[in-house]
Structure 1
Amino acid sequence: DTDADTDADTDADTDIEPEPAFVLTFELDLARADGNPLSGFFTSYQWAEPVTDMPESLEYVIVPLADMMIGPDDFSFASGLEPYLLAAEARGNQVVLRPYIDYPSLPSGLPTYLEGQVDQFAYSDFGGGWSPDYTDPALRAAMDAFIAALGDQYDGDPRIGVVQLGLLGFWGEWHTWPHSEWFPDVSIQNDVLHAYHDAFASTLLQVRIPTGDSPSLRIGFHDDSFAYSTVGDVPWFFVPLLEAAEADARWTEVPVGGELRPELQDQVFDASYEEGEFQQDFDACVQATHASFLLNFHAFSGIYDPEEQARARESARMMGYAYHLERAVLEAGTLTLSIENHGVAPFYQPLQVTLSDGHGASVSAEVPPVLPEMPAAVSLDATSLDAPGEGEPWALRLHSDAVLPAAMVRWATVPADGPLRFE
């Protein structure tokens, strides 16, 4: 009987699960993620130097095709593009790049070697300009060659955060309104879409509207009349266009961005702002589109008073991702992280989390795209690390090869004392 009792006690003891080494919970702090890569407001240093402390990680750069292409197979990226990339990197920013051929009020961006060969149509709208004949075989060949060369040279270069396809239409915004007859048909649009898709496997891409095959490609969208014609029942507004193309859920895989409509930039964060069909609620537009980043020159220009600047900063925090470490559990040598996204969109590029001990050893794991209201669990095998001790806590950091080496992807989490600290 004694032996049986002993065996029973032993079996019962082995069924008891060991207690976790630690269970930690953390508080949310959205402000700590201000200025995270690939999110929030950005400006253009081509227009003016910022005079405010609005957090930024991106800057907008427009470059005429003529500055980057001097012959059918001859490209001048070193002089036409590199200076912008180097300057942005020195400021800690990635570039949102838009190449253009026709930008109203600016000289034609048609490569010099095509002048006199490709027809151009003069117009006076929007400050005037020259719209090229996009059906011309020489121009089509030039665009194909440029896109392939740009991708070959710069796909995966962390200095470029996003390439907006540009090239077609006024401002590279894929329309020539009110001269719609000048805009190329969908077959030419698809040629450009597929050329970019084939040339870029890593760098994020965006096109102005969900046209042609774009909803099925690795290409996001940019609404350049944000909060002016974003939501509503008008068919040509941005969200109705997405819905009509069955692209309204593409934000889960590709980014949405654009520009806060220039006429609204000095109004939308004023307490007296009145909503209407063409003066829409900014935060509601962010929620509807799941926008990650937006051009907003006025947020950096000093035009906002302190209250407007504070409201703009709060709205910027809504955009993109905000990864919060809600819980961390160490059990049987495995650290399991519960990650919540308190933004409106995921981080679209590959992301890693690294756990380091006090002596330099580390382990890493991939972090999947975390959608809002869909927490993710990430596990790290910590058995090779020294246990965290007094004065030597483990350090946990997020990082991505798709952002600048010096950039930090910060947790939207209040740092806490204890065995786990954030970098």
Structure 2
Amino acid sequence: MVRTYTVAALALVAAVGAGPGAADPRQPLEYAPAPVDNPLKGLVPYQADVRTAFPHSLEFTYLPYSALVTGADAFDWRPLDRALDDIAGRGHQAVFRIFLEYPNKTGAVPAFLLKGGLKVTKWRSAESDGGAIETPDYADKNLRKSLTGFIAALGKRYDGDPRVGFVTAGLLGLWGEWHTYPREELFASTAVQIEVLDAYEAAFKVTPVLLRYPVGAKDDKRAANADRRFGYHDDSFAWATLDTGRRADDWFYMAALKAAGPDAENKWKTCPIGGEIRPEAWGRVFDRAPGHVQIQNFRTCVEATHVTWLMDSGMFAKKQGAERVRRAEEEVRRMGYEFHAPAVTIGDVQKGQLSVRLELENRGVAPFYYDWKPEWGLLADGAAVKAFAGTGKLTGLLPGAKPRVWAETLDVSGVRAGRYALAVRVPNPLKGGKPVRFANTTQAAAGWLALGEVRVP
């Protein structure tokens, strides 16, 4: 029996060439921009149902330490699980951070630690809009034990959880951003920082953890992290990102990255870079004329940092003008990865075996950081007749590198004779999550990238 294609499938096959029997078995595939809301990249709103505001695949949430830690080695995971389930229910993955101090938010320090003698300094700062701040004594032995125990338990429960995209280390400093500026004498010592870094490194092997500041071996106030398995998040993106050369701006992200050394500068190749667009630049950063002298060129910042995701409330807080949205989509699409398949070679079916070689290149600014597995399929009537687990990898494919080849031999011996469309996709392990979609004209919304026609005798 010969299967029939849907009209859409026939159009996809026609677009990629004749397949087997063509004069040149290597068939070029045409480029088209990938979707702005590809998974694990792009702009990130605070946790909310804002799917109609701007395309996105990630949401961010904060939680106070006291919401999860109820005693020595006692944890209540329900608040975090509720947040993750809510975000996952929209097909999105979460970025989250746990904090101990936050302007105008009290009670983040668990009561059992206060009863155990933990001292808290209460103060205010113009740098944090004059809000009341409660900074714990990070040298307290009970707090230190609690932090390392919490991180171990957090990793045991959530490392590799498909609901979670990225974890920002948090825990120390204002907003969990690893500083108490301008009261830096209240911040955690390097010894405490090292304990936290060690704990995160031991607890998380799959889910990436990101730190606020790149730090090299010569810094005497912060623990070195350049040689550790952490990414970074620049939370003053497009405002304090590019190196100005001024000494007063040596804390800017690219200046700090350079000072931290080559390991930090090359971090993006193996660990993700995230962050937040500076509030003063929200929305405006995508305008042709942003209107503030300190707003740095967004595209230049993206290319310099190799950033994958950025928190931004500007594009989600209220309806934006069509031109700003258009420019934002164009610029945000450049963040992170963009995988394009330039060509495919499909062999004839011989003795029930089908050989295929798919060339894959990365046109983005960063690699993909999860080992999601591809899947091949034979499609007919708009559905997969048979799917095959792939062995190809997305991880480690850097922008500008020569194309990677996914070579497979598929066993089609059990497939009924007929004509099919050969396709490939990279499913998201999150139920209902967005699949990785390729930058090709034959990319279907459901995730399948049509490659060409196959005849099974």
- Work out whether 1:185 is the aligned partner of 2:189: yes
Q: How many residues align?
A: 398
- Seen in structure 2, the aligned counterparts of structure 1 residues 93 and 19 have a Cα distance that, compared at 3 Å, is closer
Distance in 2 (CA, whole Å) between partners of 1:330 and 1:204 is 36
Task: Provide the C-alpha distance between the structure 2 equivalents of 1:69 and 1:57, rounded to a whole number of angstroms.
Answer: 29
- Partner in structure 2 of residue 214 of structure 1: 225
Q: Find the counterpart in structure 2 of residue 341 from structure 1.
A: 362
The equivalences for 1:74-113 within 5 A come to: 74-78=74-78, 80-113=79-112
Q: Choose the corresponding residue for 1:238, options 229, 241, 253.
A: 253
| Aligned counterparts of 2:101 and 2:421: Cα–Cα separation in 1 | 56
Aligned to 1:58: 58
CA distance in 1, matches of 2:416, 2:211: 48
Q: Which SS does the other structure have where 1:172 is aligned?
A: coil
- CA 1:383–1:49 in structure 2 vs 1: closer, same or farther (change >3 Å)? closer
C-alpha distance in 2 between matches for 1:258 and 1:87: 22
Q: What does residue 151 of structure 1 align with? A: 155
Mark the runs of 5 or more structure 2 residues left unpaired by the alignment.
1-20, 216-222, 349-353, 380-384, 444-449
Q: CA deviation at 1:121?
A: 0.9
Q: Tell whether 2:306 aligns with 1:273.
A: no
In 1, the alpha carbon distance for the partners of 2:77 and 2:427 equals: 29
Cα pair 1:398 1:410 within 8 Å, conserved: yes
Deviation at 1:275, TM superposition (A): 6.0
Residue of structure 1 in register with 2:13 after alignment: none
Percentage of pairs with the same residue: 33
Match of 2:345 in 1: 329
Match of 1:394 in 2: 422
Which of 269, 273, 281 is the aligned partner of 1:252? 269
User: 1:258, CA displacement in angstroms?
Assistant: 0.5
1:23 aligned onto 2:40: no
Equivalent pair of 1:52/1:299 in contact (CA under 8 Å)? no
Cα 1:194–1:388 change in 2 (3 A) is farther
In the alignment, the residues of structure 1 paired with residue 51 and residue 407 of structure 2 have an alpha-carbon distance, to the nearest angstrom, of: 43
Secondary structure at 1:81's aligned position in 2?
helix
CA contact (8 A) 1:108 1:129 kept: no
Measured against aligned partners, the alpha-carbon deviations of 1:161-183 in whole angstroms (never above 9, x if no partner) come to 11100000000000000001011
The answer for the alignment partner of 2:69 in structure 1 is 69
**Residues 251 and 418 (structure 1), Cα distance of their counterparts in 2 relative to 1, 3 Å cut:** closer
Deviation, structure 1 residue 389:
8.4
Alignment of 1:376-387 (within 5 A): 376-385=403-412
CA displacement, residues 184-207 of structure 1 (integer Å, 9 cap, x when unaligned): 122211111110010011011101
Residue 337 (structure 1) shift? 1.4
Structure 2 SS opposite 1:216: coil
Deviation of residue 108 (structure 1)? 3.3
2:289 match: secondary structure? coil
Map of 1:12 onto structure 2: none
SS in 2 for 1:382: strand
Deviates more, 1:307-316 or 1:165-174: 307-316
Tell me what 1:419 maps to.
452
- Code of the aligned partner of 1:123: W
Cα deviation code 1:10-29 (max 9, x no counterpart):
xxxxxxxx998832211222
Pair 419,187 (structure 1): closer, same or farther in 2 beyond 3 Å: same
Aligned amino acid, residue 258 of structure 1? G
Q: Which runs of 5+ in 1 are unaligned?
A: 1-17
- Partner Cα separation in structure 1 for residue 186 and residue 23 of structure 2: 67
Aligned to 1:122, the other structure's residue is in SS state: strand
| Deviation per residue, 1:126-160 (Å, 9 max, x gap) | 21210111111111011011101100111110101
Distance 2:35 2:320 in 1: 22
Mark the CA change 1:241 to 1:20 in structure 2 (over 3 Å): closer, same or farther. farther
Q: Give CA-to-partner distance per residue, 1:237-269, whole Å, 9 cap, x none.
A: 101111111201100000000000011103212
SS across alignment from 2:155:
helix
Aligned to 1:119: 119
Q: TM-score, normalised by structure 1?
A: 0.88
Calculate the aligned-residue CA RMSD, in Å. Answer: 2.3
**Matched residue type, 2:242:** V
